[in-house]
A and B are shown apart, each in its own frame.
Chain A
């Protein structure tokens, strides 16, 4: 047995030991809290804010687009978007299922949205950026059911003229996954509306503006508890407006007069400024259908339509230029001294030319007889140009065409411009047909704008502008801008002015001489110059071309148009009357006839009188 005092001593001793442990433990705990709450408090405050605040993007209104007369081409109207806050997959799926009947989402839409969610599960999911006021009201009425849904006022894009401007303005839509990875969209967040095509895409930086940010307070389940602050924490910066060189009255006219049941395109440029006055491709689509996400059926029908309404036939397609290329051959040959305007060829036109093993036909079976170069251009004599092509030779032809930019894109301010092509070298033929698979006879075809030659409309416009003005043409552009007016192409005709004028005179007689191919469509008040074209193609009847400029001596407009299969026989050439009416319409608009005398000569327009 231990003595009582010994036991008390032991108790005292043990209690003291335990007290030391207790004090040490409490001090360690206090130290841990001191570290967390005093030393590192600010970083945890930050994490606490991050925890409970969710940033919601406030979209910036896009800039408005105006035509040259101030008419609105693209604008914003009030609209609503519905997004879901990020959360767990099954929560998002359930929220979507509840929203589905209100927003009219079918199973396929929901599945597509879930795929979008899985790609970026930490970001708010944009469910609809095109919700109606009724849809938004019914969500707000049943708010407790939709605590994860964020409804935003968001400006909605509208194109008042719809299909008429479809290929120029393009359309907008939610940024795609691949676009998010594109450096051009650096700094863009998912759910943002961006330009997808046309000017909306080209000038995204200018039009887009900078989105703002507002914060909402959420709980641990991600449901919104309250809005933070009276307005957005960072207000959005609206995009800049664009003023275009486009003339919407002309655009409407081109749309309403386009030959029915045909496809094709027309583009017009003011050679003084390089501004595109008209830019029209047919058939079209309604860009408004793409705003807020195009539905699958509409998309599929547009994509699968054999008429390819989504194709931009102005800058996205190239056609064999046919006879509209003859002035190009002429200019190259004259510059080389191979021919001058009055020269006749050795063999007069008897409707065809025998060369090698085959017979090369002229479009006029009766033949044109012996013609000068001017006459051959006026009447578009193929036999003359076969011989001119052979005289010029393949190498000179290829060299000359490339010097004039054929085969290059024009550099217009639109994305995805097609370049067209013209053979650059003999190797090109070797690669295409094999070293012995072709002969020098390709020059015959090339000389009349057929064969291995496809050009977009704008390329022809540039050449004719160079021919008409004698200067290096301005790079065509849709935006009205002084800076863009100073950008000229890096080539010129390199032809003495006298010879250039001779070619222009030949183009004037195409329209104004009774023997010219466009004589029936000459203008009453104006001297129009131009060149018709008939482009053979394997798909059917030849395409009908017409490139024209007027007034011939100092043109205000250069137009090129192609009507696919618009030249079924020698009496019908749909592009010519179409372009002729457009030119007249535009000139009447900018130089209205004096009210007292409608038949007054056009002296005040600076156009030299010119016999028809």
Chain B
């Protein structure tokens, strides 16, 4: 057995582990920079806590990466039920910003059950779709995976945590895609969600229904399913406005600001405008590590969590942004390769779902710093400050490495 093969048997994907460690170190450096400000800030000194969390995450990684895949598959239902229980508990005893209920306070630390629930849902979902064998031919055959995702999704929406709910949707689509569900069916599956978004404008929504009907006519699924899809689209489209009025004002603002950030640059648009100013003023080469004036003077909001990538943009410039995006892209590409080479359908599905989750985090988080995406508060893997998320990323990584090791 060659040296490389032995390494692979021990840790799985060595390149991936190296990238994850490098990104974690760079992330810590950016969190340190985020704390270097000229005004009193919660971000000052927070890198020490993140270092502690990284240690915990690495310990968790070592433990989880020792667990055989079969055990994980076997434990999936139990983990899922436990996750649902935690999500239920957090709705009762949880705390969070602006009256939300996202965290469970455990003295010095706060746990986000949603992060754990995502992993548990991935496991159960992978088990559900990989047991099927043939790809589904009818929408109704997808009821089990849909149900597995829908329950935790509704629970996190009740917190309310829009970002996590989106991630649960991503998990479902990723799992079904990997299981070979035809793209047309995936399209029909997500169509009620699209209808929900377009329901704001009667004209656009009307066009959407026509397009959908044409699609159904050309694609010709079962008649009952066609009618059900249409009915679901009509129902969600009608629900848009009542649901909107139930959103928290800050969430409404964030969505509106996405459409026009300059409408209220001092109020809700502040985050996006300041983020763009910081990134834009970074230019090609940046203001220099630790020296970003917008960051130092606390113009950047949540510069150690949601908007850490704006600090990258301001201090390291376009060059630094490209380096970070390349590293993250490389990291995600490695995971894709590991999913492709997975020994079992279960393992491949788990790895691909994790790819989907982190890919979504990357696109949404980085996209929102430049105004391509609405502000949803999704953290950036390895860079954003936050213990639960870091631990969950490293736990997921452990599963990826386990899959790679077993292949």
Contacts and interface: CB of A to CB of B under 8 A. Distances in A.
Interface of A: 1-2, 7, 10-12, 14-15, 18-19, 21-23, 25-26, 28-30, 32-34, 36-38, 40-41, 43-45, 47-48, 51-52, 217-221, 223, 225
A221 B266 CA distance: 12
Nearest to A50: B277
A38 B293 CA distance: 18
B313 to A, nearest CB: 7
| Dominant secondary structure of chain B at its interface with chain A | helix
Contacts, number: 131
B177 interface: yes
20 contacts: A1-B133, A7-B345, A11-B339, A11-B340, A12-B340, A14-B180, A29-B367, A33-B325, A33-B370, A38-B318, A41-B283, A44-B281, A45-B281, A47-B281, A48-B278, A48-B280, A51-B294, A219-B38, A219-B39, A220-B297
Contacts of B337: 15
Interface in B301-356: 313, 317-318, 321-322, 325-326, 328-329, 332-333, 336-337, 339-340, 342, 345, 348, 352, 355
A464 to B, nearest CB: 65
B205 interface: no
B289 interface: no
A217 to B, nearest CB: 7
A220 B299 contact: yes
A47 B262 CA distance: 13
B366 interface: yes
A388 B238 CA distance: 100
Contacts of A40: 280
Closest A-B pairs by Cβ, 4 of them = A44-B280, A48-B281, A15-B340, A219-B297
A41 B180 contact: no
Contact of B352 (A18, A23, A45, A48): A18
Given A14-B178, A33-B370, A34-B318, 7 more contacts: A11-B348, A25-B363, A40-B280, A41-B280, A45-B281, A51-B297, A52-B293
Q: Give the bracket for the number of chain B residues in contact with chain A.
A: 35 or more
Contacts of A48: 277-278, 280-281, 293-294
A219 B297 CA distance: 4
A25 B325 CA distance: 10
B280 A217 contact: no
Given A2-B133, A223-B39, A52 B299 contact: yes
B62 to A, nearest CB: 28
Nearest to B337: A15
Contacts of B280: 36-37, 40-41, 43-45, 47-48
A226 B179 CA distance: 60
A38 B283 contact: yes
A393 B31 CA distance: 98
Contact of A25 (B177, B298, B359): B359
Contacts of B123: none
A277 B284 CA distance: 69
B299 A30 contact: no
Given A7-B345, A10-B180, A36 B276 contact: yes
B372 interface: yes
Nearest to B312: A33
B281 A33 contact: no
B112 to A, nearest CB: 25
Contacts of A33: 279, 313, 318, 321-322, 325, 370
A218 B329 CA distance: 37
A52 B280 CA distance: 15
Contacts of B283: 37-38, 41, 45
A225 B39 contact: yes
A36 B133 contact: no
Nearest to A12: B340
A25 B355 CA distance: 14
A385 to B, nearest CB: 75
B237 interface: no
